[in-house]
Structures are given as structure tokens and as C-alpha cells.
Amino acid sequence: MQGRARAVQWAASRRRPRSSILRPALAAEMGTGTMGADWRGFEISGADAETRAGIVRFQQDFQAFRDDAAAIFAVADAAPGCGIAQAYAAAMWVYSQSAAEIAENAAPYLARACAAEGLTERERLEVEAVAAWANADFAGAAARFEAVAARWPGDVTAVKFAEFVFFQAPDYRRHLAFMDGVAAANDDLPCFLAMHAFAHELNGHVDRAIDIADRAIAAEPDTPWAHHALAHAFLNSGRIDAGLAALERHTASWDGHSQGIRGHNAWHLALLRLAVLDGEAALAIYRDKIAGLAAQSVFEHTDVVGLLWRLELAGLAVPRALWAPVAAAAERHAFEAVMPFLNALYVHALVRAGRPDVAAEAIAALAVRKGGDPVWRTGLGLCRGVAALAAGDARGGVALLEPVMATVAAVGGSDAQNDVFRLAFLRGLSEAGRGREAAALMAVRLGGRTPTPFEAAVVR
């Protein structure tokens, strides 16, 4: 069960009542589901009453980031003929972002899902979408989730899956168009409002994102994904005081959810602290809320690397020992080809931990496997540039990064997450004696606003 718990790190806790993601009236009406239907009223094939009830619970726990979402594995194991239960269980393993775990653990569920008889058309499309997703065919997965959303926009579980596909293969306009298309069917759900707010933020609609996130929180204060949308909006617009106030107001509520969302929202809080160069506070959050609490989780790895890297960009000393735990995981994950965003982070961690040989080996292996793919060509250039910068070669790193910076968002991750690559490039320009170029690019980034103390420290 430990591995299964890791598979739902992002979905998660047993401490909150299930009605917390719904308006009270809607929870009373739909919380137990109806015979033959899921939480949102869609038909479930191949399921008895107990299986249907388990699926309804999963759908609600998943939206609320509760650990109880892991119960979908028992539901699927007990009902091998229920195709949608198998697809849901497979999807939870896809969230692991580990090619090895997906191949080992998602594949059996997908095989049963594909073999299930009597699937509805909606279920068939969703099974196909999850299968494409598991194979890192993000374009195929997105197209199938869009097909589901076009005909059954109230399937908010499929909407949530699609949101992560858009994270792994970012297309911010398409992402927002998807959320806009299903808004009318889901606009009474705080969990959906949080997704819609995030999609607006990714497109630079900061005030709109804040308004929608506030609506979600007004309906249900314990909506951690809405808190997450606010963190993005306030950080990326330089409104640090407002961001700190918003996140600190809700911090205590995160304890009722999974470590995945607890750690990631804490990461955003640490970035806001670091924005005013409060490195001690950022490190305290790293120690208390992020590192070592889910040591095998890729979500933790991305938060750890992203935070430690930014601490270094701020000019703060990061002992090599802090890189060691994530570097140990990187020795395996850096060779996997899920999305280049992860590989670039793992490469940086390996070099900073004193393992440039492993980083170089991973890049070479990925070049053989993925060198013909356009996104991976950007990703490989990014990894090579990241490795050079991490080794202290500013001129070489900048030269490697310059050809790929225009398309770096395509490698995966959110705007706040893959922004570390842009920041590292700006710092590299400064260290390579190209300070005027760095300052000019920073000015474009700021769009007329005053830089935060952190941003000012990056370009010196």
C-alpha cells in the first residue's frame, strides 16, 4: 500500500468530511450517488451498488485532494469488469510521473479497462484518454478529454485529469478554452472554479483568476486548489504582501489534505517568502513542510529542486547535503522520458550534488531515445544548458540555453515552475558579463512593475 499511497500523493486526507468540496445542498443531493450513476449523474457500466458507491467516493475525494482517493484501487480490484474503475485506478498511477511505476502499476488496470465489456461511449473515450496519457501521448490524451468534455461537460473527473495533461504538455490558450467550454456545467462547484481560476492565471488574466478563486473560497474556504491559484496570481504579478496574507490565512486547512498539495502550496508560500529575500523563512518551510515527508514522490522532488535552486539564484548558500536526497532519486528518474521539465530539474540536482557524470549519462541516453521529438529537442538543449550553469560555466550554459528559451514552456510544468529556467538564464547572462541584456530581459518580464527583491537579486 505504500506505493499506492505515493500514486495518489496529488489527490488526498482522511481528516475532512466529504461534503467539503460541494455546496451543502449539492452534497446532500448527490453525495451518495444514484443507482447506476456516478457523482455527476453519468452512467457507470459493469458496476454493482457497492462499486458505484466507491466510485462516487473516489470522485469526491480526488477533487478534494484527500488520501482516501487511494480506495479506488480496492474498488477496481474488487470489480475487474468495471472499466471506468480500472481507468480511474490507472490514472492515479499516471500521476506518479514515473515511467517505471506507470509501466508496472498502471498497465494492468488499463488492460482490464480496455477489455471491459459494455462501456458507455463516454467511458470508452475516457479509457482511451487515460491510455494515451499513460503512454505520454499528451496530444492524444488532450484530444480525447476534449471530446469527452464537448459531449459530457459535467464529467468533472475527466476535466481534472485533462488539467494535468495540460500541465505536462502546456498549451495555455487551449487549456483555458477547455475550461471555458465546461464552465456552464460546473460553475457551482468550488473544485471546478479553482481549476478555472488557474487556467485564467496561466494566460495572464490575473484579476480574473483572483476573482474566480475568491468565488471558490467563498463557497468553500477549504479549497486548496483555489489557494494555489491565488499563489500563482499574486507571485507572478509581484503582489507579495497580498499573496502572503492569502496563503497564510488558509495554511492550517491544508493539513486536512494530501502531502502532495500540502507540500506544493507550502512551496508557493516559500516562494513568496523568498520574493522578499526571507531565506530563513523559506528554508524553514522547506524543512518543516516539504522535504522528506514523501521522499519517493516526484511532486516533492520538483518542489525541493525548484526551491533550492531559487535560493541559490538569490545568492544564498545551499549546502551540498541538501541536494543529496533528491539527487539519489534523480539517479533513476533523470533517465525516464515522461516530460523534459522533470529531467532538467533532476539534471540540476545531480550536478549540484556532485554527480555531473550521471547527469551527462542521462542526457546522452535521452538524446538517443527522444532526440527526434521537437519538444524533447528543446528539453535536451535545456538539460545541457542547465548542467553547464549548475557546474559554474555561465558562458557555456547561456550559449546552450539561448536557442531554446523561446520555447522552454513546452517542456512541461506550470508558469511558476518552469520559470526557474528563465531566472537561471537571466542569472547566467549576468555572470557571463552580459548584464545589460539580462537587465533588458528582466524589464520585459516585469512589464513595468517594480521588481521584487528576489528578482533584483537575480540580475546583478
Which residues, in sequence order, are bridge partners of residue 66?
Answer: 12
Asked whether the predicted pLDDT for residue 376 surpasses 70, the reply is yes
Average pLDDT over residues 124-141: 98
266: CATH: 1.25.40.10
Asked whether the predicted pLDDT for residue 6 surpasses 60, the reply is no
Are 266 and 331 contained in the same domain? Answer: no
Are 336 and 453 contained in the same domain? Answer: yes
Are 265 and 332 contained in the same domain? Answer: no
Asked whether the predicted pLDDT for residue 100 surpasses 60, the reply is yes
Are 394 and 342 contained in the same domain? Answer: yes
In a domain, 359, yes or no: yes
Tell me which residue of 353, 400, 358 sits closest to 380, measured CA to CA. Answer: 400
In a domain, 265, yes or no: yes
Which tens digits make up the pLDDT trace of 155-208? 999 999 999 999 999 999 999 999 999 999 999 999 999 999 999 999 999 999
Which tens digits make up the pLDDT trace of 153-166? 999 999 999 999 99
In a domain, 216, yes or no: yes
**Residue that is last in its domain, among 262, 294, 326:** 294
**What is the extent of the structural domain holding 66?**
1-171
Residue 12 binned pLDDT confidence (cut-offs 50, 70, 90) = very low
Which tens digits make up the pLDDT trace of 70-91? 999 999 999 999 999 999 999 9
Average pLDDT over the chain, rounded to an integer: 93
Are 343 and 261 contained in the same domain? Answer: no
Average pLDDT over residues 2-29: 41
Asked whether the predicted pLDDT for residue 30 surpasses 60, the reply is no
Higher pLDDT, 228 or 24: 228
Are 234 and 383 contained in the same domain? Answer: no
Residue 33 binned pLDDT confidence (cut-offs 50, 70, 90) = very low
**Residue that is last in its domain, among 171, 204, 229:** 171
In a domain, 311, yes or no: no
Tell me which residue of 390, 291, 313 sits closest to 344, measured CA to CA. Answer: 390
Tally the C-alpha atoms within 13 A of residue 103's C-alpha that lie toward its C-beta: 6
Are 24 and 138 contained in the same domain? Answer: yes
Specify the pLDDT at position 9: 54
Specify the pLDDT at position 272: 98
In a domain, 17, yes or no: yes
Residue 8 binned pLDDT confidence (cut-offs 50, 70, 90) = low
Asked whether the predicted pLDDT for residue 3 surpasses 60, the reply is no
Are 122 and 243 contained in the same domain? Answer: no
Q: Into how many domains does the chain fold?
A: 3
| Least confident piece of the model among 27-31, 141-145, 236-240 | 27-31
In a domain, 180, yes or no: no
Are 381 and 265 contained in the same domain? Answer: no
Average pLDDT over residues 29-40: 61
**Residue that is last in its domain, among 171, 198, 214:** 171
Specify the pLDDT at position 98: 96
Are 2 and 113 contained in the same domain? Answer: yes
In a domain, 302, yes or no: no
* pTM listed for this prediction: 0.93
Are 40 and 167 contained in the same domain? Answer: yes
| Least confident piece of the model among 11-25, 227-241, 307-321 | 11-25
Specify the pLDDT at position 14: 32
- Rounded CA separation 350/414 (Å): 22
Specify the pLDDT at position 460: 82
Specify the pLDDT at position 36: 80
Are 330 and 452 contained in the same domain? Answer: yes
In a domain, 164, yes or no: yes
3-state secondary structure string, the chain? Answer: CHHHHHHCCCCECCCCCHHHHCCHHHHHHHCCCCCCECCCCCECCCCCHHHHHHHHHHHHHHHCCEHHHHHHHHHHHHCCCCHHHHHHHHHHHHCCCCHHHHHHHHHHHHHHHHHCCCCCHHHHHHHHHHHHHHCCCHHHHHHHHHHHHHHCCCCHHHHHHHHHHHHHCCCHHHHHHHHHHHHHHHCCCHHHHHHHHHHHHHCCCHHHHHHHHHHHHHHCCCCHHHHHHHHHHHHHCCCHHHHHHHHHHHHHHHHHCCHHHHHHHHHHHHHHHHHCCCHHHHHHHHHHHHCCCCCCCHHHHHHHHHHHHHHHHCCCCCCHHHHHHHHHHHHHHCCCCCCHHHHHHHHHHHHHCCCHHHHHHHHHHHHHHHCCCHHHHHHHHHHHHHHHHHCCCHHHHHHHHCCCHHHHHHHCCCHHHHHHHHHHHHHHHHHCCCHHHHHHHHHHHHCCCCCCHHHHHHCC
Which tens digits make up the pLDDT trace of 387-414? 999 999 999 999 999 999 999 999 999 9
Residue 27 binned pLDDT confidence (cut-offs 50, 70, 90) = very low
In percent, the amount of the chain with pLDDT more than 90 equals 92
Asked whether the predicted pLDDT for residue 23 surpasses 50, the reply is no
